[in-house]
A and B are shown apart, each in its own frame.
Chain A
Amino acid sequence: MKALMLAVLGAVAVMATPALAQDKVQLRLATVFDGPTVELWQPVLDDFMKAHPDIEVKMDTVAGSGAAVYPDVLRTAMASGDPPDVFFMWGGSISGPFIKAGQVRPLDDDYAKYKWGERFPQWIDNRLKIDGKMYGVPLHGQGMGMFYRTDIFKAHNLEVPKTYAEFEQVCSKLKDAGIYCASTGGKFGWHVMRLVDYFTETTCGPDVHDQLNALKVSWDQPCVVAAYQRLRDWIDKGWLVPNFLNVAPDDSRIPVYQGQAAMVLEGPWMEPAIVQAEQDPANFGFFLPPTDHAPDRYSAFPEQWMISAGSKHPDQAAMFIDYIASLDTQKAHPEAFQGSPLIGMKPDCTKTPITCQIVDIVQSDRPAYPPTDQAFVKELMDSFFAVQDGIIAGKLTPADGAKQFQEQVDAWKAKQPA
């Protein structure tokens, strides 16, 4: 009899276990976090699960791939009907195809419910709005500028430039001293694009630059030719480390570390990279390259959290995003939220002074322009990169480059549905 009762109890326990597991909502979170970042985030997830014992959050990461592979992984998961509930995404055009395909849940109701709109600088909210709707909640606001070698500047009595003309003078003096002004990596196109974007901002000004990115005005115009000419001049004058067309962006930092080049155009991720490369952080400073325009804008882009349209638990997913987008959570885990644009959230300025400087700029609501690869779809962007490569290699003149890219824009527009 005792054995029979034990057997019955065992059977009940076995039958009850899946039921209990099913009661717990399982949220899947897709990210591009690397190993150390995953470690920083695990306590955040643990705290959330402690506060919400009925929800379990599991993080899947596609580390180190950047925008090259992660969107493919995400797309495959969505196409197979098994999307993550919450996923990391860059801003701008990279998220566009997912939204267009109806794979992303609009978050306007959640924005109203949780008052997310009040938590972040306006420029980030504006940048994330697509066709008047909000689809994502900001994770990072990444501002970019010149990381420069303070020791080299000091050794050659150089000051941080206040105008574009001063910037050219700095480059010229560095060249005379046998040091390249800047280093860049042409492989994938987007690293050099940052320089081209800067030149376009200086020659076209904020309004025209925005209209160019929106394809509302022709790229075949004098200010674009002038921007391409500046790129050409920097190469011809020997201000850029030569033969950079196939150099990977990360490898382009090496001449700066070795003191052969004085600066590189990067964002706040550069500061940990400097430490990782065993460089002395005291030898590095940061400035926004001057544009000679008002407003004096800089290049910046948001990164965001989105909820899959196919998520089985959208309410819990929104609750999770609300938790990680709150000041209390981020202050409890400052290392996990480096570069957060949440107003009031600041990194430890004694540990990461440059990141602190960038966060101040990002949260100040100073106007920013988007990197072109977040303004155009990838297909058009690759045409932009092909023209850029042609100018760098001397296969295209700046005028031909501007003309050719506008032809590519026209061809791309003609293919789009009305």
Chain B
Amino acid sequence: MTSLSTSAAAAPVRARPRRRRKFRWAMLTPYLFLAPALIIYLGFLVYPMLVSLYTSFFDWDGMSKTMTFIGFGNYINIFFGDEVARQALVNNIVWTLGCLIIPTGIGLLLALALNRGLRGTVVLRTLFYAPAVLPLVAVGLIWGWMYNPNFGAINLILRSIGLGRFAGGWLSGYDTAMPSAFITYVWASIGFPMILYLAGLQSIAKEYYEAARIDGANGLQQFRHVTLPGLGESHVIVLSLAVIGGFKVFDLIYTMTYGGPGRVTQVLGTWMYFQAFQYYHAGYGAALAWLIAVIILVIAIPYIRHMSKD
């Protein structure tokens, strides 16, 4: 073994002479197949992104023919001149932390329960996953009605079971609006991590659990040492999507609270929309959009790379 290694190491490395491959038209074929998708990608994603990056260095109302170059003025204003943007950033961070823990945790618990092969698993899986296929705008509107203080289902139920003292304006309260919107998000989003974790659980070989049981591992130890490591790839997808979703949140806040009451539920996505489209600060809105994109990239890319290596 050693000698083999030594001889291999001692062997002179001879560079293979590079032969120029003769051009043939057929070599272009794969690129021709890629071209339509690439053109669409460049035209509808890369080009607008670059334009918005360019716009973020200007003071522009989005309509006028003149744009005033202000360098990093918009970016500086986000951190030092705009109280609402800072509050929105904090809201996004809290929301994202919530996304990392609650829907993913519940999704994992549901996946574990459904993976036990109980009767009615298919029905339960469909039930839990169903909200995930609904558009968030529709979810926001439906839950907005459910939270309505006068005729909403939640207050009606509370009153009908004698808990009327807890009935209130869920989305009207400064302290309850954000948690109420987040509960809606949890309801709408547990299905996706559940399905991913369920797929991950079903790919873990039964032999690992048998071996762990023979070694005397209890249920918790099996979960800690077999299940969690076995779900590594699922974690990468679920947690990175949770971070991305947490910073991209827009639809639910827009439809349920419109950033209010006051501005306590503003998040970067809605504040970007208000600035760019309602206040006619297209440059500032573009800067906010790039801030969201950079935060997502800074958090998600190293995490995905790290987990992928493991």
A contact residues vs B (CB 8 Å cutoff): 68, 71-72, 75, 78-79, 97-98, 100-103, 186-189, 241-248, 251, 254-255, 260, 377-379, 382, 385-386, 389-390, 392-393, 395
Contact = CB atoms under 8 A, between A and B. Distances in A.
B18 to A, nearest CB: 50
Given A246-B171, A377-B279, 18 more contacts: A72-B278, A75-B62, A79-B63, A97-B280, A100-B64, A101-B61, A188-B258, A242-B149, A243-B168, A244-B169, A244-B172, A245-B169, A247-B169, A247-B172, A254-B151, A382-B279, A389-B260, A393-B174
A246 B261 contact: yes
10 contacts: A72-B277, A72-B278, A75-B280, A100-B61, A186-B172, A187-B260, A245-B260, A247-B149, A260-B150, A386-B262
A254 B172 CA distance: 18
Tell which of A75, A248, A251, A393 has the most Cβ of chain B within 10 Å.
A393
A101 B67 CA distance: 11
Interface in B152-193: 168-174, 177
Nearest to B257: A246
A254 B150 contact: yes
B63 A78 contact: yes
B129 interface: no
B19 interface: no
Contact of B169 (A78, A246, A255, A260): A246
B258 A187 contact: yes
A385 B261 CA distance: 9
B95 interface: no
A245 B150 contact: no
Nearest to A260: B150
Given A243-B149, A246-B147, A378-B279, A101 B63 contact: yes
Of B151, B172, B177, B263, most buried by chain A (CB within 10 Å of CB) is B172
A187 B261 CA distance: 8
A393 B61 CA distance: 33
Contacts, number: 98
B65 interface: yes
A75 B281 CA distance: 12
Contacts of A251: 148, 150
Interface string B253-288: 000111011110000000000100111110000000
Interface in B223-253: none
B262 A379 contact: no
Interface of B: 61-65, 144, 147-151, 168-174, 177, 256-258, 260-263, 274, 277-281
B74 to A, nearest CB: 13
A334 B246 CA distance: 51
A389 B177 CA distance: 13
A98 B63 contact: yes
A245 B257 CA distance: 10
A186 B62 CA distance: 29
A247 B149 CA distance: 8
B263 to A, nearest CB: 5
Contact of B64 (A101, A245, A393): A101
Contacts of B263: 382, 386
A393 B62 contact: no
Contact of A97 (B61, B65, B172): B61
Given A103-B63, A246-B169, A395 B174 contact: yes
B260 to A, nearest CB: 6
A365 to B, nearest CB: 33
For B61, B147, B260, the residue with the greatest tally of chain A CB atoms inside 10 Å of its CB is B260
A246 B63 contact: no
Contacts of A246: 144, 147, 149, 169-172, 177, 256-257, 260-261
Given A72-B277, A186-B172, A251-B148, A245 B261 contact: yes
A242 B279 contact: no
Contacts of B174: 393, 395
Contact of A389 (B148, B262, B280): B262
A62 to B, nearest CB: 13
Contacts of B168: 243
Nearest to B254: A68
A184 to B, nearest CB: 12
Nearest to A96: B280
A97 B65 CA distance: 13
A78 B38 CA distance: 29
Contact of A79 (B62, B150, B151, B256): B62
A309 to B, nearest CB: 11
Contacts of B256: 246
A247 B150 contact: yes
Nearest to A246: B171
Instruction: Tell me which of A75, A186, A247, A255 has the highest count of chain B C-beta atoms within 10 A of its own C-beta.
Output: A247
